[in-house]
Amino acid sequence: MSAAPEVESADANIRARAISTVVLGFASDPMARWVWPDASEYLRITPRFFDTFGGRAFEHGTAYVTPGVRSAALWLPPGIEPDQAEMDAIMQESLRPAISEDITAVVKGMAEHRPSEPHWYLPLIAADPSWIGQGLGTLLMKHALRRCDEEGIAAYLESSNPRNISFYERLGFKITGRIQSGSSPVLTPMLRPPS
């Protein structure tokens, strides 16, 4: 029987590979594909957008990957936020006018649901679709949640895919609301207190 793969912190040398894994993992995500339904536009925009959304994790040693960068989780420590100005600029350049009001409302809803107390934030977690079902997401989550528990700090995320909600619930996350506007898919904010 082989040992479970190890989780490691991703450094700048594998940043591009980790972002590529996230891009592949989100290729059928309801929210990502609502924003960028055209495949070539999705592939052109999301590497930059995802790096802006969760990329500060690389600077803090909290971008976690499994061997071969088959899966990646970008966790932001308490007090560290995504680069909202750059995210807004990317959205401005790539957004379809038909959804701009709904996107604005979704982003506002995300801000309103963020916990006020210090928390670890998970903007992005994904596996290369070739490796889904191998337990890599669970491995990444348990690795990060151990740290949350050791520090006595909550973990927070927004699930952009309803299929993943039960996965997060099994790990102790509870639904704290519902974010949706117009034609947008539902984004589900979820919080896990430390145990």
Residues in CB range of 154: below 8 A, 6 or more apart: 115, 117, 118, 119, 120, 148, 191, 192, 193, 194
DSSP assigned state of 110: H
- Buried b / exposed e over 108-124, threshold 16 CB at 10 Å, is ebeeebeeeeebbbbbb
DSSP for residue 187 = B
CA distance 87 to 127: 23
DSSP code at position 130? G
User: Residue-wise pLDDT tens for the chain (195 aa)?
Assistant: 455 569 999 988 999 999 999 999 999 999 999 999 999 999 999 999 999 999 999 999 999 999 999 999 999 999 999 999 999 999 999 999 999 999 999 999 999 999 999 999 999 999 999 999 999 999 999 999 999 999 999 999 999 999 999 999 999 999 999 999 999 999 999 999 998
CB contact at 8 A, 4 and 139? yes
CATH superfamily label, 8-192:
Gcn5-related N-acetyltransferase (GNAT) (3.40.630.30)
Phi-psi group of 162: left, alpha or beta (phi > 0 → left; psi -120 to 50 → alpha; rest → beta): alpha
Pairwise CA distance, residues 151 & 185, whole Å = 34
DSSP state of 160: S
Token readout for 31 is: 């929210």
Tell me if 47 sits within 8 A of 20, measured CB to CB: yes
Q: What is the pTM of this model?
A: 0.95
In angstroms, rounded to a whole number, what is the distance separating the alpha carbons of residues 125 and 25? 8
